[in-house]
Structure 1
Amino acid sequence: MPLWTIHHTPGIFNAEEKRALASRITDHYESAGLPRFYVVTVFHEIEPEDFYVGGEPTQVGIRVVIDHIARHAVDTESRRRITQWINQMLSPTLERHPGVHSEFHIDETSEELWMINGLVPPPGGSDAEKRWAKENVATAY
């Protein structure tokens, strides 16, 4: 599963922009073969007095923490493609906010430490995972 946790100061996103970004993120992972329900996006608005960079409050900031569990990058080129894609996803938002402090990083977690609705997800690319993607629901396999 990819989990995107987007920490941001007020005014970075409105409700429509959140929905559009979450949809674009989900569309991308679906195009890579993941079930849509694997993708979780959480927006966490943080007041500037609670968002510090270098020990100072940040008036306009965004920090994205991404957990990848269902798939892992296999080499340097794959990791570069992923970071470029993420940067492209965030660029339209960042360009609207001059002086924004922005960062993101990705953690890759073992799929052995993951369950959905009490089920261990099927192996990546398996027939069971393809069924989950088609039906867009976790079921016993």
Structure 2
Amino acid sequence: MPLHRLYVPPNLYTPEEKSAIAKAITGVYSGLPTFYVVVVFVDVPKQNYFVGGEQTDRFLRIVVHHVARQFASDERKRNFMDRYEAALEPWTKRKGIDWEIQVAALDHVSWNENGIRPPLGDTEAEKLWKELNRPVPYEPEKGGFKTKL
């Protein structure tokens, strides 16, 4: 589950732009079930938004938590960052604002969906979750866990 929190000034994006941004972010994760991708816009009024000690209404801060997958190398991390930046370019660089993106990798073991431990990546159970676009109960031993849990 990648969780994307976008800290934005209240009028930086229209509702239509927010929807387009959420779709663009979801598109970066072609290998995951789409319901894993959560995008939350957090409005931060100018009087509460400071960068370098100065109030701003032209700054976007994005914090991403990755749980479903971890990157095997720094090269793969940078590749993801490049794809992410490209997906957001219409609402960052082309909009003429300043922005910052931070991605944190979290522990897969401490994550559940609807009370169900998600299957490991590229397993039959995960393929079913992707096909149905929702979590469904499965037997871990038959769903692709590589070790007993």
Q: Shift of the alpha carbon at 1:96?
A: 4.4
* Between 128-137 and 81-90, the greater mean CA deviation after superposition: 81-90
In structure 2, relative to structure 1, the CA distance for the partners of 1:17 and 1:35 (3 Å cut) is: same
Structure 2 segments unaligned to the other structure (5+ residues): 139-149
Q: Say whether residues 1:68 and 2:66 are aligned partners.
A: yes
Which structure has the bigger radius of gyration?
Answer: 2
Structure 1 segments unaligned to the other structure (5+ residues): none
Q: List structure 1 segments (4+ residues) > 4 angstroms apart after TM superposition.
A: none
Q: TM-score, normalised by structure 2?
A: 0.87
Alignment-derived partner of residue 18 in structure 1: 18
C-alpha distance after superposition, 1:94-131 (max 9, x if no partner): 23433x22101000001001001111001111100000
* Between 1-10 and 88-97, the greater mean CA deviation after superposition: 88-97
Q: Shift of the alpha carbon at 1:28?
A: 2.4
Q: Say whether residues 1:103 and 2:94 are aligned partners.
A: no
**Identity rate of aligned residues, in percent?**
36
Q: Shift of the alpha carbon at 1:60?
A: 1.0
Greater relative contact order (CA < 8 Å, ≥ 6 in sequence): 1
Find 1:115's aligned residue among 103, 112, 115.
112
Instruction: Say how many residue pairs are matched.
Output: 138
Q: Say whether residues 1:135 and 2:110 are aligned partners.
A: no
Say whether the 8 Å CA contact 1:12–1:97 is kept in structure 2. Answer: no
- Aligned residue type for 1:120: R
Aligned pairs for 1:42-81 (under 5 A) are 42-81=40-79
Please state whether the residue corresponding to 1:63 is helix, strand or coil: strand
